[in-house]
Copies of this chain bind each other. A is one copy, B any other.
Amino acid sequence: MNHSAMNQATDRFLALVGDVPASTDPATIRRKSRDFYWYSPILREQLDGLQADCVVTPRTEHDLLAIARAARQSGIFLTARGGGTGNYGQAVPLRGGAIVDMTGLDGLVWLRGDVARVRAGTNMLALDRALRAQGRELRIFPSTKRTATIGGFVCGGSGGIGSVTWGGLRAPGNLLATRVVTMEDEPRAVELRGPDTRIVNHAYGTTGFVTELELPVEPAVDWCDMAVAFPDLPQAARFAHLLATQTGLQKKLVSVMDCRLLPYFAPLRNRVPAGRALVILMMAPAAIEPTRALIAREHGELCYSCNTAEAEDDPGHVPLYELTWNHTTLQVLKTDRSYTYLQTGFPPADALARVAALAAQFPDELLTHLEFLPMEGGMSCAGLPVIRFTDSARLDKIMAAHDAAGISVANPHVYTIEDGGAHRGLSPDLAADKRRFDPAGLLNPGKMRSFEALAGALDGAPNGAGRAAES
């Protein structure tokens, strides 16, 4: 539709949603239409300036159903948004419409033993604190815990702090159920349990609105941050792998950092001698003494340790997890926008040799950053290397070198689910799920390539004449 028709549709939508809080304030719209896509200079070029026509903020599932019905009647697009901490433009509306700000749907529904039911828009720090007050904690959280929502983490993320023990968000058992508001002819709330949660897990909100999630929660642990220095990267990586495979040491985080990342790490740069590769750990109290023994045996130097919760609660401190996962790149970008990053997965066999080979192949542009986690039944690591950006062609070359070395790449410079990695290639199943739950294709349009293909490419898609950059 053209601009004027779009305005009319938006007006009709806003009239239909009744008393659901809504905003057409340009600053609000601009702010709520962005996420962390600007990590990628390529996405920056493609997504800068794209924005919604309005923002709605449901307070209840009833509000959300009203929004869904209003969108079906008015034909406008809806893009769900949590804390806006995604890196692939998940929450950027490619074709206008309404941003659905999910943060009003928040709070713990119930906690029963080792299972919690939570509303999707709950801030993860608030959630972890609410759980901790009852002696529990989240298995896995992102480095963006302070701003992310649990629904956004599950719909847009894949793993994080805790994955070294529990694996990724898609590993069976890490997400027990979701409640989803559909965009069917008669929008309704459905319960997806167990394997059925794959319909919404990491689907960028293209298949429905997740309103509640049921998750396993662990007994709260009083974690300890540790930073360990090694003379070089191979020694750091070897120690990290050794530690990650120690089944007797309870851990939440095992990260490895190239020495050139140290200057960007405020809490550590004055404590770690320059030129040392770093291993960052979160260990349980009972593991501290044996970990110190292992560090000494492997000739590492424990340069820093601090109670994680204290660092989190103290405005003058930074918990070390805020130097890891997607925060590593963020710490660099805070002072130098000439960098970007990649997301890679090392197969367990020869992981360390492959890490070394890649680092050697791009000595000046690739700053190694590893996150250890179990893969294919063994212990391995994901890479989130910080890359000095030249241009798109050079980035493609670096990705091709990973491919050639047997290291998988989840490309963070694209905004479709399929091109980003886990669901690589077109997925008839995923497209069929979307067709079932969102037959009119109104949810976060342009993000699921499989659906666009199924719907007969963009021209044939309902309301498909977008202004997005998906050329």
Contact = CB atoms under 8 A, between A and B. Distances in A.
Interface of A: 113-115, 165-167, 171-174, 176, 193-195, 216-219, 221-222, 241, 245-250, 284-287, 289-291, 293-294, 297, 348, 374, 377-379
A113 B247 contact: no
Contacts of A176: 286, 289-290
28 contacts: A113-B286, A114-B221, A114-B284, A166-B247, A167-B247, A167-B248, A171-B246, A171-B247, A172-B246, A172-B248, A172-B249, A173-B248, A173-B250, A173-B286, A173-B287, A173-B291, A176-B289, A193-B289, A194-B293, A195-B293, A216-B248, A216-B250, A216-B287, A218-B219, A245-B374, A348-B378, A377-B378, A377-B379
Contact of A285 (B113, B241, B245, B247): B113
A218 to B, nearest CB: 8
Given A285-B114, A379-B377, A290 B194 contact: yes
Contacts of A219: 218-219
A101 B318 CA distance: 53
Contact of A174 (B195, B248, B285, B374): B248
Nearest to A286: B216
A241 B284 CA distance: 27
Given A285-B114, A285-B115, A286-B173, A166 B374 contact: no
B249 A290 contact: no
A66 B217 CA distance: 50
Contact of A245 (B217, B250, B289, B377): B377
Nearest to A216: B286
Contacts of A218: 219
A115 to B, nearest CB: 5
B379 A171 contact: no
B222 A113 contact: yes
Contact of A248 (B166, B293, B294): B166
Contacts of A221: 114
Contacts of A195: 293, 297
A131 to B, nearest CB: 13
Nearest to A171: B248
A371 to B, nearest CB: 14
A375 to B, nearest CB: 10
Nearest to A173: B248
Contacts of A167: 246-248
